[in-house]
Amino acid sequence: MNSFSMLKELTIKKCDLLLNIFPPFLLGVFQRLEKLIVADCASLEEVFQIQVQGLDIEETYEVSSQLREVNLVRLPKLKHVWTNYREGNISFENLQIVSILECWSLKSLFPFSIAKDLQQLERLAIDKCGLEEIVSKNAEVSNEQEIWLAFNQLSFLLLGHLPYLTCFYPGMHRTTWPTLKKLRIYNCGRIKIFGHEESQIGQSLFLIEKV
């Protein structure tokens, strides 16, 4: 396994029997990985498998990922990018580019514990997917409690052909996008894009005072 410790780029294509990419014991091996491309894997269900049979990887490992770019393309059975992730000793705070295309079984992209630390994210593109939400619910926060998500470096956001997308986060929240320069949203009929700050908190993708 040590032979992979210096690997910076990994591309996996047309591995139709593969169910996951990174089981828990491999997360530490690929700590220097910066770019990941996964495409056309017919059976893939998860990318980062954080939990196996009730054992949390956070309990025994400290992993600070150098991953900067993730591209997931045509993965028809993908259900999770990060499986059962909780805030702990695993960090993906270096992510800069995330691109998801034609992953119709994926219902949510980021766990809340990852989304709140995406201070380096510059480009986010999601097209032709089954997403219902971008960030999944934080189980430790009540429905009445408002959370903040700041994407301070995000300059490009694309949301396209997401017919089931109803919200960015399924609860009371505010988002800030101070460096956003390019915004493309199309064929996302269920989500409200712009709303008034006082009346649409938690319902709209953007509050007009914050854009």
Report, as ranges of residue numbers, the positions in the chain whose pLDDT lies below 70: 1-3, 51-63, 84-89, 142-143, 194-204, 206-211
Q: What is the pLDDT of residue 49?
A: 81
Map out the domains of the chain as residue ranges: 2-207
C-alpha distances (whole Å) from 77 to each of 40, 43, 136 are 10, 6, 19
Q: What is the pLDDT of residue 44?
A: 97
Q: What is the pLDDT of residue 101?
A: 99
Q: What is the pLDDT of residue 207?
A: 59
Q: What is the pLDDT of residue 57?
A: 45
Give the predicted TM-score (pTM) of the model: 0.87
Q: What is the pLDDT of residue 89?
A: 58
Contact 106, 129 (CB under 8 A): yes
Q: What is the pLDDT of residue 58?
A: 45
Q: What is the pLDDT of residue 29?
A: 80
